[in-house]
Amino acid sequence: MISTLPGRSYTDPEVFAEEQAKIFETLWFCAVRAEDLPKPGAFKTVQAGRESVLVVRGRDDRLRAFLNVCRHRGAQLCVEAQGEVKRTIRCAYHAWSYDLDGRLAAAPNLAKMPDIDRVEYGLVPVHLREWLGYAWVCLAAEPPSFEETVTSAATERLGDPAAIERYHVDKLALGRRIVYDVRANWKLIVENFMECYHCATIHPELTAVLPEFAGGYAAQYYVGHGAEFADRAEGFTVDGSRGFGKLPDVSQDQDRRYYAITVKPQVFVNLVPDHVIMHRMYPMAADRTVVECDWLYHPDVIASGADLSLSVELFHRVNEQDFDACERTQPGMSSRAYRDGGVLVPSEHHISLFHQWVNQRLRG
């Protein structure tokens, strides 16, 4: 019998702080959708590990990331989750101002402070890479290989490096975004996403479109496997009605199939022929995780003003059903009944690989 992690892994603030330090502040973290920052000066702030990270588009059109902390006395620079500055990022405390590339641009009486170097006292940069149309940041001084820790997840799962490229996720347009504030530990959400033992119980709409899920084996159980649509399902919609037609380069063998990829530690990618669903988790506390979910479509679909509601509703229901289950589970993690953890049945055995990965990260 394979056991799960013990209950305290999901509740103990010390374990959570260690995960923040050794997982979320060490690995690549999917921060923002690039199209959310369409022009120079547009910014977003996100919580990555214990840090607030500021992602801003520069005048050269490049995205950059910085710690969202003023170098003078440490005030938080941008307090809004999203906004736009004109020329500089200005601290609201004593008015130090930073260029969009992070250099200290101006400060009251700066001319009388020759020991203040504009680069040395510029914003602290954070590593940034773009993939799938998202800015991924890494707080480590020396980030791990992006290819080995991020893009390889898609190759390992789909068995073909080109398979995800055919969806052109970076060129898709945002159709809908829903933010879920989930009262559960981030690992419960990952574990839930990885298995489908629960699908027959809580996902009637999903199993109607993907009947093999009712058997309990998630698409993620097998390499390269996409779950086939039911014969009667015309599209990946809440009522099985037709969606928007296959994305142009999606291959025939990818058509009428659903693929799911977990990019550890905080991203789930769902691929269906006519859209892509991207989940990003922002762990806020041992028992709280904010999940931002984007539904992405071909730009022509968005430009046409098409009604996305039946398309969005399917996975929105799945999300609500999943997060409800995770919230139902979270209190049990503190119970004596779960002190030594629970059990993984055969269709959940692959979750133990995730547990091994977490343990290795925390030991390292």
Cβ closest to ligand FES, residue 17 vs residue 95: 95
* Closest distance to ligand FES from the beta carbon of 68 (Å): 11
Contact indicator for 229, 236 with CB cutoff of 8 Å: yes
- Cα distance between residue 301 and residue 309, in whole Å: 13
Supply angle C-alpha 296, 229, 190, rounded to 5: 60
Cβ closest to ligand FES, residue 62 vs residue 73: 73
Contact indicator for 186, 289 with CB cutoff of 8 Å: yes
Contact indicator for 348, 20 with CB cutoff of 8 Å: no
* Closest distance to ligand FES from the beta carbon of 82 (Å): 21
Q: Which of residues 43-72 bind ligand FES (CB under 6 A)?
A: 70, 72
Cβ closest to ligand FES, residue 70 vs residue 276: 70
Cβ closest to ligand FES, residue 91 vs residue 312: 91
Contact indicator for 53, 31 with CB cutoff of 8 Å: yes
Which element (helix H / strand E) includes 4?
none
Cβ closest to ligand FES, residue 56 vs residue 206: 56
**Of residues 87, 94, 171, 328, which one binds ligand FES by CB under 6 A?**
94
C-alpha torsion 347→132→166→164, nearest 10: -20
Helices (H) and strands (E) in the chain, counts: 9, 18
Q: Does 96 bind ligand FES (CB under 6 A)?
A: yes
* Closest distance to ligand FES from the beta carbon of 113 (Å): 12
Cβ closest to ligand FES, residue 88 vs residue 155: 88
Contact indicator for 123, 71 with CB cutoff of 8 Å: yes
Q: Does 91 bind ligand FES (CB under 6 A)?
A: yes
**Of residues 59, 93, 117, 165, which one binds ligand FES by CB under 6 A?**
93
* Closest distance to ligand FES from the beta carbon of 84 (Å): 20
361: nearest Cα among 76, 74, 27: 27
* Closest distance to ligand FES from the beta carbon of 128 (Å): 23
Cβ closest to ligand FES, residue 116 vs residue 290: 116
* Closest distance to ligand FES from the beta carbon of 45 (Å): 16
3-state secondary structure of 295: strand
Q: What letters, b where the CB count within 10 A reaches 16 and e where it falls short, cover 217-254?
A: bbbbbeeebbbebeeebebbbbebeebbebbeebeeeb
Q: Does 73 bind ligand FES (CB under 6 A)?
A: yes
Q: Does 75 bind ligand FES (CB under 6 A)?
A: yes
* Closest distance to ligand FES from the beta carbon of 240 (Å): 55
Q: Which residues bind ligand FES (CB under 6 A)?
A: 70, 72-73, 75, 91, 93-96
